[in-house]
Amino acid sequence: CGVFGCYHIPDAASMTYYGLHSLQHRGQEASGIAAEHDGEITVLKGRGLTVDVFRKPELASLEGVNAIGHVRYSTAGGAEAANIQPIVSHSSRLGDVAVAHNGQIVNEKELRRELEEKGAIFQGTSDSEVILHLIRMEEGTLEERVKKAAARLEGAFAVLVEGEGKLFAFRDTHGLRPLSTARFQDGWMVSSETCAFEVMGIYDSETVPAGGFCTFEDGILRRSSYREADAPRVCAMEYIYFARPDSVIEDVNVHKFRKETGRILATGDDVQADVVIGVPDSSLSAAIGYSEASGLPFETGLVKNRYVGRTFIQPTQEMRDRGVRMKLSPVKEAVEGKSVIMIDDSIVRGTTSRRIVRLLREAGAREIHVRIASPVLKLPCFYGVDISTKEELIGHRMTVEEIREYLEADSLRFMTPEQLRFAAGTAGLCTACFDGSYCTDLYSYSEVLSN
């Protein structure tokens, strides 16, 4: 998912709309904006892309200088309407409060049970509702309540809260999910990714540190923390796949990271090949890095139909299979009669790579050497990426040689988790889905690992 917020910015809802549009790659399932005007929060949200959910007159009805928005990619908590964010609570005692969240709270079940015992009534199954109820049940000023709620959460989260004319933003103590702030005119913007700032012409932004808390109040931003930071562990998948190449996470540019993974893959690779190709869009940077380091020419071997959503997002395997065909076409001219190095960012179920190998063979490629710009995915993620069981992961069920056979590739290589950490340079990485190094207690999710 992606979150975007505006504080003290005229026509905040429209600006949030542009922000969400730049974060669309983080989720295409649903989109929502909650704007505050004189203490009243109005929310508009629905299924689909940001451009489909909002029309100009509706956006104009969202008045106010503060707004928060969300694009959704469903992980924990299904696709039902009650889970579409932002989630708003209207209370005569506490006023209107809205929450938007990216990530996954690992102690969600425990918190939900505790809150229900105290009388909270839940509408849906999303983590964000748990955050909202925690805020409502705590004591003190809104800032104090949001801080106390934040301190109860475990797992991965970048959260925006709006109410009483204020905005709050905080990030989990490991910094698993990205979040940055930037100055805009007389106000501030806060975004999951910095690419959304650059679209607005802002090139100066600051990372919200792990465990960091931002209070936007009285026209200013006050930085503090709600808990001590743990060792930083940005989700490796943010760099590998999720984020846009122009974004910067923890001072590391995503494109640069991906190029580095390609460079590392090329080092010591003695395969005889003619060209290097990447699977658009997320693997192009890695393919360029491989090409530069190996001296082999980079080719446009595959073309993407930009009007098909990300295949992984489709709900069934059948739809995913069909999705790959609709989405990618080989460029015969670039691969015919050639030995091809095909770079993809990751293998989850194996659907994409297998399909692409076939497409390239059909287009006349002589040999296809698959290089994956990440390690073998073996374990589920409990931090907000939709890899929820071990069984769905081809890397859990098969050895690298068995995967190669399944893909019908001439050779196959992955990176090691150490190489991935090296590519990240100064940024500390979470690599749990590759090597089991989960950085938090997993609470009820630990059952998923043990059986």
Residues in the annotated binding site for Mg(2+): 282, 344-345
Phi, psi for residue 216 in degrees, rounded to 5: -105, 110
Least distance from C-beta 437 to ligand SF4, angstroms?
9
Residue with smaller CB distance to ligand 5GP, 140 or 315: 315
**Residue 254 binds which entry of ligand SF4, ligand 5GP, Mg ion, none, CB below 5-8 Å type-dependent:** none
> Is residue 430 close enough to count as binding ligand SF4 by CB under 6 A?
yes
Question: Collapsing DSSP states into helix, strand and coil, what is residue 90?
Answer: coil
- # binding residues, ligand 5GP (CB under 6 A): 19
Q: Which residues are annotated as a binding site?
A: 235, 282, 344-345, 381, 430, 433
Nearest to 106 by CA among 173, 149, 156: 156
Least distance from C-beta 27 to ligand SF4, angstroms?
15
Least distance from C-beta 397 to ligand SF4, angstroms?
18
Q: Within positions 326 to 345, which residues make up the interface with ligand 5GP, using CB under 6 A?
A: 344-345
Binding mask 344-363 for ligand 5GP (x = CB under 6 A): xxxxxxxxxx----------
Q: Give the separation between CA 30 and CA 107, rounded to whole angstroms.
A: 25
- Known catalytic residues are 1
Least distance from C-beta 103 to ligand SF4, angstroms?
9
- Residue 25's alpha-carbon distances to 21, 172, 177, 202, in angstroms, are 9, 22, 15, 20
Residue with smaller CB distance to ligand SF4, 330 or 375: 375
Amino acid at 148: K
Residue with smaller CB distance to ligand SF4, 157 or 383: 383
Please identify which residue in 433, 440, 442, 445 interacts with ligand SF4, judged by CB under 6 A: 433
Please identify which residue in 167, 296, 385, 442 interacts with ligand 5GP, judged by CB under 6 A: 385
Binding mask 176-215 for ligand SF4 (x = CB under 6 A): x---------------------------------------
User: Hey, how many other C-beta atoms are within 10 angstroms of the C-beta on 90?
Assistant: 11
Least distance from C-beta 239 to ligand SF4, angstroms?
9
Helices (H), 267-415: 284-294, 317-327, 332-335, 351-362, 394-397, 400-407
**Residue 265 binds which entry of Mg ion, ligand 5GP, ligand SF4, none, CB below 5-8 Å type-dependent:** none
Tell me the DSSP string of 189-253.
EEESSTHHHHHTT----EEPPTTEEEEEETTEEEEEESS---S--EEHHIIIIIS-TT-EETTEE
Q: Which helix (H) or strand (E) holds 102?
A: strand 97-105
Nearest to 86 by CA among 29, 42, 23: 42
Report CA Rg, the chain: 22
> Is residue 239 close enough to count as binding ligand SF4 by CB under 6 A?
no
Residue with smaller CB distance to Mg ion, 279 or 423: 279
| DSSP annotation of 411 | E
**Residue 15 binds which entry of ligand 5GP, Mg ion, ligand SF4, none, CB below 5-8 Å type-dependent:** none
Please identify which residue in 282, 291, 294, 440 interacts with ligand 5GP, judged by CB under 6 A: 282
Residue carrying the six token digits 């012409």: 201
Residue with smaller CB distance to Mg ion, 125 or 300: 300
Q: Which helix (H) or strand (E) holds 340?
A: strand 339-344
Nearest to 68 by CA among 2, 148, 143: 2
Q: Give the separation between CA 423 and CA 259, rounded to whole angstroms.
A: 9
> Binding residues for ligand SF4, per CB under 6 A?
156, 176, 235-237, 381, 383, 385, 430-433
> Binding residues for ligand 5GP, per CB under 6 A?
237, 241, 279, 282, 310-312, 344-353, 385-386
